Amino acid sequence: MMIRNIGIALATLLLSTTAAAAQDQQSKEQEAATLGLNHIGFAVTKLDATAAFFVDMLGWKPAGGQPDYPAKFVTNGEMFVTLWQVTDPATAISFSRKNNVGLHHMAITVRDLPALHMLHRKFVAHDDVVVEFAPELLGAGPTTHMMVREPSGLRLEFIVPASRIQKSAE
C-alpha cells in the first residue's frame, strides 16, 4: 500500500512538473522574441558635426568608428548610435516625415525637467540645431517634450515621461 501511495505521489509530481514545464514553454512562445533596441544607425550629411552634437551637447561618449566608411559611433551607456557619412552630402535627399517611409524621429528620455530646459537653452544657442518646438506638455501632460533637428537634419525628440516628473517633484 505504501509503495502504491509513493508511486501515485511520484506520478502526480511528474505530471505536475511536466504540466508546469509545458506552461512555461507556452508562455515563452507567447512572449516577444526580441528584447530591446540594440543600436540605431543613421546616414548623415555632416558626420563630424552630428557626432559632436551627441558628444558635446548631450554628454555622450565616442565609441569607435570606421574611418574608411566613414562612420562614428556614440553612446550614453544605455543607447548606442552609429553615424554613417553619406557619399555625397550635396546630392543627399533629405527625409520628409510626411512623404517618405523611414524613421520619423528618435525619442530620447531626459532625466528631469531642469535637464530638458538646460538642453533647450543649449540647442537654441547652437547655430546648426533647429528647435522645432520648445519644451511643452505632451497632450494633457505632465509628460513634457521638445523636438529638434541636429546638424545633419535628424529629427530628435527629447522627452521627460510623467513618471520622471513625479519622481523629481517628490
For the segment 33-59, what is each residue's pLDDT rounded down to a tens digit?
988 889 999 999 999 999 999 999 999
What does CATH list as the number for 97-170? Answer: 3.10.180.10
Residues with Cβ < 8 Å from 140, sequence gap 6 or more?
none
pLDDT band at residue 128, thresholds of 50, 70 and 90?
Answer: very high
- Is the predicted pLDDT of residue 10 greater than 70, yes or no? no
What does CATH list as the number for 36-88? Answer: 3.10.180.10
Kind of pairing between the strands at 40-44 and 80-85: parallel
Question: For the segment 93-106, what is each residue's pLDDT rounded down to a tens digit?
Answer: 988 888 888 889 99
E strands present in 3-76:
40-44, 61-66, 71-75
- The ranges assigned to domains in the chain are 36-88, 97-170
Task: Say what the pLDDT of residue 56 is.
Answer: 97
Tell me the pTM: 0.79
- Is the predicted pLDDT of residue 11 greater than 70, yes or no? no
36-88 and 97-170 have identical folds: yes
Residues linked to residue 66 through DSSP beta bridges, in sequence order: 71
- Is the predicted pLDDT of residue 168 greater than 70, yes or no? no
pLDDT band at residue 29, thresholds of 50, 70 and 90?
Answer: confident
Q: Please answer whether residues 149 and 132 qualify as being in contact, where contact means their C-beta atoms are separated by less than 8 angstroms.
A: yes
